[in-house]
Amino acid sequence: MNEGILIGINTAFSGYNILMVMAGCFAGTIIGMLPGLGPMSAIALMIPITYGFDPASAMILMAGVYYGAIFGGSTSSILINAPGVAGTVSSSFDGYPMSQNGQAGKALAIAAYASFSGGTIAAIFLLIAAPQLAKVSLSFQSADYFALMCVGLLSIAAFASKGQFLKAMIMTALGLALATVGQDALSDITRFAFGNINLMDGISFVLLVMATFAMSEAFMIIFKKMDISFKASDVSKANLGSIKLSKAEVKEMAPVIGRSSVLGFLVGVLPGAGATIASFLAWGFERSIASAKDKLKFGKGSIKGLAAPETANNAACTGSFVPLLTLGIPGSGTTAVMLGALLSFGVQPGPRLYIEQPELFWAVIVSMYIGNVVLLFLNLPLIPYIARILAIPKNILVPLVLFFSVTGVYLISFNAFDIYFMAIVAFLSLVLRVLNYPMPPLILGFILGGMLEKNLRRAILINDGSFSFMWERPISLALFVVMIIIVLLQIYQGIQKNKT
Amino acid sequence: MNINYSRLSALIFLLFFIVYSYLASEIRVFAFDENADFNARTFPTFISYLGIFVSFLTLVLSKNEHEKLGHYEWLKVIVLFVLVFTYGIIIKSIGFFLSTNLFLMVAYYYLGVRSPKVIILSSIPVVAGLQFLLHELLDVYIRDPFLQAIGVIS
């Protein structure tokens, strides 16, 4: 393990990869700041750029983009009360009031220090937890993997659904159905291609992600008449105030950071949960344990109220890499996109990754720490300048996002069919999103579809056509019990919602 | 039961999964695989069961909510959609540089940018910069008849 860590450190600290982290953090911050464009869009836009990179550098870049986007989302939450990312909505509860009180610089500094601390503590947890979980998961068989993937799909559907679990499940089924287009991996039989040569190899993962996130987000900005640029231009001219924190303020933040890091990491590890839930939980938890006097400050510019969600969302981002790197199962929609990217590089994440490709496994973990340092020392002083990106009007931004999305897909295949198909998928995604159909379950279903079929096939063949593996193997049984609990919880919530 | 957009979409999904189920049953498998415990039809069949089940539940359980879709910018999105489609049609024939610049300039203008300076500065340098990055740094070659004709690339 020590040798692996050293290889990882060596890889992550190479000049090229440090440049990747910096570029990723910078690009992620800019994209994450723009309302509507979250980490999934940011990573989707990066995928075509990373073709030709080695997998370690590509993952390092994408990881940098991920936490850069979360940091960028916090910035727009604090400055203009327009969270670029769902995971930073709770940062605006106290960050924006601070900003309005003339403490925007201080609020950004708290966000940066809390994110740095949360990310760092979580990176240490990841360093300890990931190899242990990888060792445990070596005992997993096909049936267990199948059950685990089903838990992942159900969890994402439950958490991403915002009370529309059935719609999220439809999207999961649609994602799985789209994954069956093209050649069957085992028998080479072509399915659902309808004689179209462009569909013989299946639907491109990059195309689907770009269409459902980047391009449909761009359409959505126009569709919903979203425009925040005039506010942003005001902010960029304003004096943000000092970014220095007093000793008393640091003392107030420290225990909050400790608690929220643990909470955020644990929530991040759970499949389907992630930064949004972690940040809301951390804010709510800190408020519930605060003294009566402190409780009154929450929502009006409390330091604790800002530090808690900022710590938790970064810790959750790091935590979500645990199931991705050790089990090959993404813990969130964003890591699902990363899984797709890894698969397209020919890298299969899972328990053997840290044995067979330690440079990739450890370099990603080490680069997370470097990324946190970059965000703190490079991005924080640059925020007044980076914030000017918010002044880009939507009539310039939208064509540029459309252009980068189309180019990204075209550069992979040089096939105009992909552009037409992408435009159709993006338009349909827009309609579905307006009707409250969430997109992350579709992407996860699409990415896991192939692996799910492969593991189900193996499990059934090993069991002579029987489904008895569901209750005969203890791990599978436990996972199926978890699935039943998730479904029952959703039914219970639905009944409660109908009553109110 | 009143029809609303949620129910209508659930009905469309229900029909989609019924058709998908039929197509799954029509997948041709090898003769020796026909009666196998798991063949190329099995997984799509399971997916179709899941899809039919959840879309049917959505159709039945959706509440009668009054959703309004008319106040959105449908026309602008449709025009942008057509622009992307057109971009796809012309990219092969007139090349990446010219088609992308045309796409960006028309899109900026349609969305309300009227300053020629802004339109030009937000398109030509961006496209030229990206093409330079691709050609010179990432070794990605994009065939471009226009740039070849004016002698910029060989």
Tokens 């197509």 locate to: B23
Q: Where are the beta strands (DSSP E) in A59-153?
A: none
Which residues in B lie closer than 8 A to residue A177 (C-beta atoms)? 17, 20, 44, 47-48, 51
Domain of residue A346 covers 2-499
- Residue A480 sits at φ, ψ, to 5 deg, of -70, -30
pLDDT at position B87 is 93
Q: Which of A211, A159, A84 is nearest to A438 (CA)?
A: A159
Cα–Cα distance for residue pair B32/B15, rounded to 1 Å: 32
Look up the pTM and report it. 0.82
Q: Could you read off the pLDDT of B64-96 as tens digits, one per residue? A: 666 666 678 889 999 999 999 999 999 888 888
Q: Counting beta carbons within 10 angstroms of the beta carbon of residue B103, is it exposed (0 to 12), middle (13 to 18) or buried (19 or more)?
A: buried
Cα–Cα distance for residue pair A360/A7, rounded to 1 Å: 9
pLDDT at position B83 is 95
Cα–Cα distance for residue pair A118/A95, rounded to 1 Å: 17
The b-or-e profile of A142-164 (16+ CB within 10 A means b, else e) is bbbbbbbbbbbbbbbbbbbbeeb
Confirm or reject contact between A488 and chain B (CB < 8 A): no
Which residues in B lie closer than 8 A to residue A169 (C-beta atoms)? 50, 54
Q: Could you read off the pLDDT of B93-137 as tens digits, one per residue? A: 888 899 999 999 999 999 999 999 999 999 999 999 888 877 777
Q: Do A173 and B17 touch (CB under 8 A)?
A: yes
pLDDT at position A229 is 57
pLDDT at position A132 is 78
Q: Do B103 and A416 touch (CB under 8 A)?
A: no
CB atoms within 10 A of CB B110: 14
Dihedral angle over CA of A162, A166, A168, A170, nearest 10: -160
Confirm or reject contact between A389 and chain B (CB < 8 A): no
Cα–Cα distance for residue pair A216/A257, rounded to 1 Å: 36
**Amino acid (1-letter code) at residue A440:** P
Confirm or reject contact between A278 and chain B (CB < 8 A): no
The b-or-e profile of B135-149 (16+ CB within 10 A means b, else e) is beeeebebebeebee
pLDDT at position A234 is 58
Q: Are A349 and A325 in contact (CB under 8 A)?
A: yes
Strand-pair partners of A182: A191
pLDDT at position B64 is 65
Q: Do B51 and A177 touch (CB under 8 A)?
A: yes
- B136 secondary structure, DSSP code: I
For helices A216-223 and B74-94, the axis angle rounded to 10 degrees is 140
Q: Which of B77, B8, B17 is nearest to A427 (CA)?
A: B77
pLDDT at position A356 is 78
Search chain B and give the residue with CA nearest A463.
B37
- A335 secondary structure, DSSP code: H
pLDDT at position A439 is 87
Q: Which residues contact A263 (CB under 8 A, 6 or more apart)?
A: A278, A281, A282, A285, A312, A315
Residues 17-56 of chain B with CB under 8 A from chain A are 17, 20, 23-24, 27-30, 33, 37-40, 42-44, 46-48, 50-51, 54-55
Tokens 């559907």 locate to: A157
**DSSP symbols for B48-86:** HHHHHHHHHHHHHH--------TTS-HHHHHHHHHHHHH
Q: Do A187 and B30 touch (CB under 8 A)?
A: yes
Q: Do A189 and B126 touch (CB under 8 A)?
A: no
Residues 128-147 of chain B with CB under 8 A from chain A are 130, 134, 138-140, 142-143
pLDDT at position A36 is 62
Is the pLDDT at B2 greater than 70? The verdict is no
**Amino acid (1-letter code) at residue A42:** A
Query: For chain A, what's the residue count?
Result: 500
Cα–Cα distance for residue pair A31/A18, rounded to 1 Å: 20
Q: Does the ipTM surpass 0.85? A: yes
CA angle (B107, B108, B109) in 5-degree steps: 90
Q: How far is CA A24 from the centre of its chain?
A: 14
Q: Which of A370, A394, A41, A26 is nearest to A216 (CA)?
A: A41
Most B CBs within 10 Å, among A50, A207, A403, to test the B interface: A403
- A190 secondary structure, DSSP code: E
pLDDT at position A58 is 87
CB atoms within 10 A of CB A437: 24
Domain count, chain A: 1
* Chain A: closest CA distance from residue B150 (Å): 22
Q: Which H or E element spans position A460?
A: helix A440-462
Q: Could you read off the pLDDT of A276-297 as tens digits, one per residue? A: 778 888 888 888 888 888 888 8
Confirm or reject contact between A394 and chain B (CB < 8 A): yes
Cα–Cα distance for residue pair A456/A146, rounded to 1 Å: 6
Which residues in A lie closer than 8 A to residue B107 (C-beta atoms)? 398-399, 402
Which residues in A lie closer than 8 A to residue B140 (C-beta atoms)? 52, 411
pLDDT at position A52 is 74
Q: Are B43 and A173 in contact (CB under 8 A)?
A: no
* Chain A: closest CA distance from residue B33 (Å): 9
Low-confidence ranges of chain A (pLDDT < 70): 1-2, 35-37, 82-86, 161-162, 227-241, 271-274, 331, 379, 500
* Chain A: closest CA distance from residue B117 (Å): 13
Q: Could you read off the pLDDT of B22-74 as tens digits, one per residue? A: 999 999 888 888 888 889 999 999 999 999 999 999 998 887 666 666 678 88
Residues 87-106 of chain A with CB under 8 A from chain B are none
pLDDT at position A159 is 74
